[in-house]
Structures are given as structure tokens and as C-alpha cells.
């Protein structure tokens, strides 16, 4: 067989080997291109970097504790006091015991949102897997806290409601609404951060294409400045909703005791 025919049959088509190599990328993996949705492992590695920053900051702020805080310790205590006031204001008295969870959640989401604004990095929260994992963490934390706070009977009674007959209809509705919460948290955060990053990428690419002819300020600059606010707002909304869910579980017994107190004078 002539060499031309053998080479052509091995590749099944002219240039078949090159087409196959281009489709697979280097090492048989899909190459990331500008505008593509970042792969889970790429965002997972960025998430690990964000977690490392938080751990490093915590170690640095608590390395040399002093009665009169200064430097990193002063910044750390200021952040903790801010979260104490925030949790007490939303959850109520005793809300400060949730500061480790709520504070870590906010800082991780906020820094993750900002991480994508650094050239060469990607926001871990721009992936639905990350935001869904955060939503499920909040879901299980709230449910475990509700069971420990009210007991299993009181926890189930929270879904049943105060009227026994109405509970037949309310129970499945309340259970479904509770199960939907982690997905709504995940979709809200993912949609806003991914949409924001996509707009910045598109405008930056368009600005680079126009630079040789029109020397303007980068088109994505206004969106980049606005994103500094929106990234904070998205982290705040996620954390605020988490505190509200905790508050609904922690104050359920208080509402019942108030109702019993109002009913007791009526019987007497």
C-alpha cells in the first residue's frame, strides 16, 4: 500500500490526527478558553486558596494575643465584634454563639466573590457546585440546631403549626419550602456572581479589541468598580438569610410560650 494511502487510512481522514489532538487538548483534557464556564477543579483550587487566606489570617491575628490589641489582633477583634452585633441584631439574644459559623460563611463568600476580580483567578462562587455546597451546609446547620433547640417533637411541630387540622395541609408545604431553601440560596449567589464575571470578561475582551483603534478607558472598568459593592451585598444577603433561618428555629419556643401566656388569663 502506498504511504499516502496508509497514512490517510490511519487517520481516517486528512489531518485526522491533528483534529483529534485539537479536540482533546493537552494531555487529553479540555482546555479552558475565555468565556467558558470554569471547570469544577479549577474553581476548587481557587476555593482552597481562599480558605488558606482565611486560615492564615486567623493564625496571624491570634499568634500574639495582648490585653491591648494592636495590628492584626485589633483587626480580628473588630471583625468579631461586628459579627457579634450583627448576629444579635438579626437572631436576637444568644445569637453571638453562631458567630464562628456566620462569620466564616460571610468571609469565605465575600473573598471568593472578590477573588474573580484578580486577573488570572476565578470566583469559586461562580460555580453552582460551590454555592450548592454552601447552601447545603447552611441547611444542615439550621436543621441540627433546630432539633437541638426544640427537641425532635418540637422541631416537627414547627412544621405542623399551632392548629392540628390545618397542619395536615401546612406540614407538606412547610417541609417543601424548607427543602427548597438551600437551592434558592445557591442559585441566587451563583447567578449574580457568574453573571457579573461574564459581563466583565465580555467587556474586557471587547475593550482589548477596540484598543488599537479607540484608546479609551477599559470598557469593563465601571462594572469592575460596581462589582466591589455587589460582591459585598451578595455575601451579606446570603449571611442575612442564614441568620433569619436560624432565628426562626431559635425563637419558635418563645412564640409558643407567649401564646400560652395570653391564653392562660382567658381560662382563669
pLDDT in tens, 194-215: 877 777 777 766 666 666 665 5
Give residue 245's pLDDT: 93
How is 216-235 classified by DSSP, letter by letter? -S-TTHHHHHHHHHHHHHHH
- 120 conformational bin, left if phi > 0, alpha if psi -120 to 50, beta if neither: left
> Rounded distance, CA 238 to CA 158, Å?
23
Q: 77 and 84 in contact (C-beta within 8 Å)?
A: no
* Per-chain mean pLDDT for the chain: 76
**Side-chain half-sphere CA neighbours of 200 within 13 A:** 22
For residues 123-129, give the mean pLDDT.
86
Tens digits of residue pLDDT in 76-117: 889 999 999 999 999 988 888 999 999 999 999 999 998 877
Residue 217 banded pLDDT, cuts 50, 70, 90: low
Residue 260 banded pLDDT, cuts 50, 70, 90: very low
The grid cell for 227 is: 462589582
Q: 153 and 252 in contact (C-beta within 8 Å)?
A: no
User: How many Å is the Cα radius of gyration of the chain?
Assistant: 26
Place of cell 391564653: 263
SS (H, E, C) 183-202: HHHHHHHHHHHHHHHHHHHH
Residue 241 banded pLDDT, cuts 50, 70, 90: very high
Q: Which of 36-45, 92-101, 164-173 has the lowest mean pLDDT?
A: 36-45
Q: Which of 95-104, 186-195, 212-221, 247-256 has the lowest mean pLDDT?
A: 212-221
Amino acid at each position: 500500500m502506498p504511504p499516502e494511502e496508509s497514512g490517510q487510512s490511519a487517520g481516517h481522514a486528512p489531518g485526522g490526527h491533528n483534529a483529534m489532538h485539537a479536540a482533546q487538548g493537552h494531555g487529553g483534557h479540555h482546555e479552558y478558553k475565555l468565556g467558558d464556564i470554569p471547570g469544577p477543579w479549577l474553581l476548587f483550587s481557587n476555593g482552597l486558596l481562599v480558605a488558606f487566606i482565611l486560615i492564615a489570617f486567623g493564625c496571624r491575628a491570634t499568634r500574639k494575643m495582648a490585653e491591648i490589641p494592636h495590628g492584626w489582633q485589633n483587626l480580628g477583634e473588630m471583625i468579631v465584634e461586628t459579627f457579634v452585633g450583627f448576629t444579635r441584631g438579626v437572631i436576637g439574644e444568644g445569637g453571638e454563639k453562631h458567630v464562628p459559623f456566620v462569620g466564616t460563611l460571610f468571609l469565605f463568600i465575600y473573598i471568593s466573590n472578590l477573588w474573580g476580580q484578580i486577573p488570572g483567578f476565578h470566583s469559586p462562587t461562580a460555580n453552582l457546585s460551590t454555592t450548592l455546597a454552601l447552601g447545603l451546609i447552611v441547611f444542615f446547620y439550621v436543621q441540627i440546631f433546630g432539633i437541638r433547640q426544640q427537641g425532635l417533637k418540637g422541631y416537627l411541630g414547627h412544621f405542623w403549626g399551632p392548629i392540628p387540622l390545618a397542619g395536615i395541609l401546612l406540614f407538606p408545604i412547610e417541609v417543601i419550602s424548607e427543602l427548597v431553601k438551600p437551592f434558592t440560596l445557591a442559585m441566587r449567589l451563583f447567578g449574580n456572581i457568574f453573571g457579573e464575571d461574564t459581563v466583565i470578561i465580555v467587556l474586557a475582551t471587547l475593550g482589548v479589541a477596540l484598543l488599537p483603534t479607540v484608546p479609551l478607558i477599559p470598557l469593563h472598568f465601571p462594572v469592575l468598580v460596581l462589582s466591589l459593592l455587589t460582591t459585598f451585598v451578595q455575601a451579606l444577603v446570603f449571611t442575612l438569610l442564614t441568620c433569619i433561618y436560624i432565628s426562626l428555629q431559635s425563637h419558635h419556643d418563645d412564640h409558643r410560650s407567649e401564646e400560652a401566656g395570653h391564653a392562660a388569663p382567658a381560662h382563669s
